[in-house]
Amino acid sequence: MNKPKKYTDLAEDKDLGLHRPKPVSEETDADLWNQFRQGSETAFIKIYEQHFEQLFNYGYRLSGQPQLTEDCIQDVFIKIRLKRAGLGDTNCIKFYLMKCLKRKLVREMGKSKKTIACLGHEPFFIIYSHEQVLIDQQIHEEQALQLNQALEKLSGRKKEALYYFYFESLPYHQISELMGLSHVKSARNLVYQAIATLKSAL
């Protein structure tokens, strides 16, 4: 009898054609962040250029509003630039900026009355792109279509957790913090349940 897969094994399941990218070196992020906090404009520009597109893709998945997303990103960068001397340490700039952007989007969408009590329960858009299909030769176009159809059946919370885990390569404790979960186990369970749902649909 085969042993059931652990969360970590299931989360790396190659049957789905999903593979987590390797995370960026934490030490490099910490050094760059410290240079920025100490007043380096070069470091600030580098952080902006490295993360803008990724932040836009993330923010748009949350809001569905491209202009609002771009405006909020600009506001986040203006704020951290003005207050950089008082910012704390971070060894993951991407995660820090994602937290800032999500808070900003929630506030702005709340002002315009286009959100409900918890943003995490709103639709969260994930599309398994043609480029990703080409990168992973183990998954065919037909499988990619099936995968996208299966993704559409997931709840917003499960899509969001899956996005953080696979597309942003965030660890469970960061997923838990971004989603406002009280326990790391809750984030792990969401990812597990999402993958289980996808497997059963394929």
Find the CATH number of the domain harbouring 71: 1.10.1740.10
Show which of 92, 111, 130 is a domain's final residue.
111
Sign of the Cα pseudo-torsion (5, 11, 15, 20, in order)? negative
Show which of 90, 111, 132 is a domain's final residue.
111
- Predicted confidence at residue 90, as pLDDT, reads 93
Mark whether 12 and 61 lie in a shared domain.
Answer: no
Please state whether 17 falls in left (phi above 0), alpha (psi between -120 and 50) or beta: left
Question: What is the rounded average pLDDT for all residues in the chain?
Answer: 78
Please determine, for residue 41, whether its predicted confidence score (pLDDT) is greater than 90: yes
Is residue 1 in a domain? no
pLDDT tens, residue by residue, 94-149: 999 999 999 999 888 876 654 443 444 445 665 545 444 444 545 566 666 777 77
With pLDDT > 70 as the criterion, what percentage of the chain qualifies?
69
Show which of 68, 83, 111 is a domain's final residue.
111
Please determine, for residue 185, whether its predicted confidence score (pLDDT) is greater than 90: yes
Is residue 169 in a domain? yes
* Mean local confidence (pLDDT), 35-47: 95
- Predicted confidence at residue 48, as pLDDT, reads 96
- Predicted confidence at residue 149, as pLDDT, reads 79
- Predicted confidence at residue 61, as pLDDT, reads 86
What tokens appear for 150 in the block?
A: 């299966």
* Mean local confidence (pLDDT), 143-168: 81
Is-contact 56 73, C-beta < 8 A?
Answer: yes
Sorting pLDDT into bands at 50, 70 and 90, what band is 156?
confident
- To the question of pTM greater than 0.95 for the whole model, the response is no
Sorting pLDDT into bands at 50, 70 and 90, what band is 89?
very high
Nearest Cα to Cα of residue 159 among 110, 119, 130, 107: 119
Mark whether 46 and 60 lie in a shared domain.
Answer: yes
Mark whether 49 and 71 lie in a shared domain.
Answer: yes
Mark whether 140 and 184 lie in a shared domain.
Answer: yes
Cα angle for residues 123, 162, 46 (degrees, 5° grid): 95
Sign of the Cα pseudo-torsion (8, 62, 55, 85, in order)? negative
More confident residue, 181 or 11: 181
Mark whether 94 and 163 lie in a shared domain.
Answer: no
The structural domain count of the chain equals: 2
Distances (CA, A) of 17 to 35, 50, 94, 100: 38, 26, 24, 31
Domain membership of residue 152 as a residue range: 7-21+120-201
What tokens appear for 185 in the block?
A: 């186990």
Is-contact 124 202, C-beta < 8 A?
Answer: no
- Predicted confidence at residue 116, as pLDDT, reads 41
3-state secondary structure of 181: coil
Is residue 162 in a domain? yes
Alpha helix (H) residue ranges in the chain = 7-11, 26-37, 41-63, 66-82, 93-111, 130-135, 141-152, 156-162, 172-178, 184-201
Sign of the Cα pseudo-torsion (177, 178, 183, 189, in order)? negative
Q: Classify residue 15 by its DSSP letter.
A: G
Mark whether 17 and 30 lie in a shared domain.
Answer: no
Is-contact 176 139, C-beta < 8 A?
Answer: no
